[in-house]
């Protein structure tokens, strides 16, 4: 690494070498170029023409909008180029078999929810005390209503309230778009396959060597080489921590199907026998995948079930089978190398967190590196921060499986029985079951910055994790303090300010 406390002022240009492209590599290149191109850095990205990208993650959280805004890229520029659509949240189907709770919608927050969310918090709390009030989250949020009507999140000008949203996109096209943007902003692009990684006497990476014999040296290396972790895992031997004990899924089968005229503005996640299937709408097609555990079924069994789920015959279309390495590194920044994307870790795409983790990693590294005067002074603090974020995402994903009520296969039964829970997750679930305000528990642990209270409440309420219907009693005036009809009317009238998803995208493209 750079010598402790050495600054760049007056020093030769420092070389950053990014190994691997795809969305993760080009996001890293663009963010580093934006922050450091005028500080004497030279950025080179090496991308193998022989290694394709996995291209599974085609959904995002709202943070992707902040990434594009920070680079000055408008939606009119990138969305049509990537066949992108808007995403208001995720609908979960068949994760629960509790009556009235077989599906729920996890919304991204909107400013008008400030009016309706207190009613949801109140009702979910009171229902856990045994009072018969409406506790299903689908009745309380604007995004849920908009998604059900296949509307976009873009409001008319006379509705001046913030609506958070994510995107669906073609990950291959997004990588290509970001690559061109990076090249236009001075990032050097080398197409080559790495054949060797050379280390110095102190264990730092000195250079990488291509199959053609070209040696490319650098001061700082960014590993975006995917699951194989060419630099961080193979060369630097950074230890990988498996999440297999409480996240069973390790495989996926994916296929593309034709799009429809009416365009959903939500991801749909449907629980199947040995995992779950996603449905992601793009302007050009629909992306479909089945994430499953190979410990409970074979790939052929998964493919057969998936085709039945989609109504596809074996001769209709070819599918792709993928293996997933679920877990994280102990050190995302080791020696003079930082890992970004699949090389640093992966948590199944249930809540579309892959690009969020990429963005948090790169932005966090840029901040730590600068505050440390471009030395490794803040490396331990950075690694702890990223590990905390991975663990917080893992806890939230594990909760989806742990509180499921299905019993049709051993897969779901074993997930519900799984006692490999962190103390953090165990405390949150215990607070909910005991009828406490889980916002207090999230505050106590300081984890609501990862998933806020609304997200946790929607998850646990959406599964119907309440007393059984026969155990509930009628509520008094205090318990029924919110009028659901007024809330529904408010949400409906708010929704009148939004167009259909298809019409909004047509307007953007000028058609």
pLDDT of 477: 77
CA dist., res. 486 & res. 497, Å (int): 18
pLDDT of 3: 37
The residue annotated as part of the active site, out of 14, 15, 87, 245, is 87
pLDDT of 55: 54
Closest CA to 403 of 324, 460, 318: 460
Q: How many residues in total does the chain contain?
A: 511
Closest CA to 350 of 465, 243, 437: 243
pLDDT of 475: 79
Task: Mark the ranges of the chain whose per-residue pLDDT is less than 70.
Answer: 1-13, 51-57, 511
Nearest-5° angle of CA 170, CA 148, CA 56?
A: 20
**Sign of CA pseudo-dihedral 276, 302, 265, 67:** positive
Our answer to whether residue 150 is catalytic in this structure is no
CA dist., res. 466 & res. 136, Å (int): 10
Question: Which residues, in sequence order, are CB contacts of 192 under 8 Å at separation 6+?
Answer: 46, 47, 48, 210, 211, 212, 214
Q: Supply 306's token pair.
A: 């998936």
Closest CA to 290 of 235, 322, 252, 241: 252
């Amino acid at each position: 690494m750079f010598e402790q406390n050495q600054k760049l002022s007056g020093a030769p240009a420092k070389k950053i070498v990014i190994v691997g492209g795809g969305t993760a590599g080009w996001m890293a290149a663009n963010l580093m170029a934006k922050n450091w191109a005028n500080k004497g850095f030279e950025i080179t990205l090496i991308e193998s023409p022989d290694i394709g990208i996995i291209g599974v993650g085609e959904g995002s959280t709202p943070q992707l909008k902040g990434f594009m805004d920070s680079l000055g890229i408008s939606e009119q520029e990138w969305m049509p180029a990537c066949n992108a659509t808007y995403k208001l949240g995720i609908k979960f189907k068949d994760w629960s078999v509790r009556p009235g709770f077989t599906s729920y919608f996890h919304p991204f927050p909107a400013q008008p929810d400030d009016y309706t969310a207190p009613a949801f918090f109140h009702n979910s709390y009171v229902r856990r005390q045994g009072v018969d009030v409406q506790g299903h989250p689908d009745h309380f949020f604007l995004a849920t209503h908009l998604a059900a009507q296949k509307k976009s999140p873009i409001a008319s000008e006379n509705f001046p309230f913030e609506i958070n949203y994510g995107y669906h996109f073609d990950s291959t096209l997004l990588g290509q778009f970001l690559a061109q943007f990076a090249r236009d902003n001075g990032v050097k692009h080398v197409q080559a396959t790495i054949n060797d990684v050379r280390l110095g006497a102190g264990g730092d990476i000195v250079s990488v060597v291509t199959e053609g014999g070209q040696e490319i040296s650098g001061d700082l290396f960014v590993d975006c080489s995917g699951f194989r972790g060419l630099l961080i895992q193979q060369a630097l031997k950074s230890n990988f921590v498996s999440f297999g004990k409480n996240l069973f899924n390790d495989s996926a089968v994916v296929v593309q199907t034709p799009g429809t005229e009416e365009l959903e503005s939500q991801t749909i996640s449907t629980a199947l026998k040995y995992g779950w299937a996603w449905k992601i709408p793009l302007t050009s097609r629909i992306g479909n995948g089945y994430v499953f555990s190979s410990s409970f079924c074979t790939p052929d069994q998964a493919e057969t079930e998936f085709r039945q789920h989609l109504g596809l015959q074996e001769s209709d279309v070819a599918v792709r089978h993928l293996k997933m390495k679920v877990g994280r590194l102990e050190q995302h920044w080791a020696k003079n190398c930082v890992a970004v994307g699949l090389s640093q870790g992966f948590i199944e795409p249930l809540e579309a967190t892959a690009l969020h983790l990429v963005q948090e990693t790169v932005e966090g590294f840029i901040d730590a590196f600068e505050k440390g005067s471009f030395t490794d002074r803040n490396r331990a603090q950075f690694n702890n921060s990223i590990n905390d974020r991975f663990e917080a995402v893992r806890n939230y994903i594990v909760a989806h499986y742990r509180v499921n009520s299905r019993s049709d296969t051993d897969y779901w039964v074993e997930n519900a029985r799984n006692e490999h829970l962190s103390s953090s997750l165990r405390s949150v679930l215990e607070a909910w079951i005991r009828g406490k305000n889980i916002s207090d528990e999230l505050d106590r642990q300081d984890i609501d910055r990862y998933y806020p209270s609304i997200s946790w409440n929607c998850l646990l309420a959406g599964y119907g994790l309440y007393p059984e219907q026969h155990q509930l009693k009628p509520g008094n005036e205090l318990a029924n303090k919110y009028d659901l009809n007024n809330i529904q009317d408010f949400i409906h009238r708010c929704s009148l300010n939004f167009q259909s998803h298809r019409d909004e995208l047509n307007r953007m493209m000028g058609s």
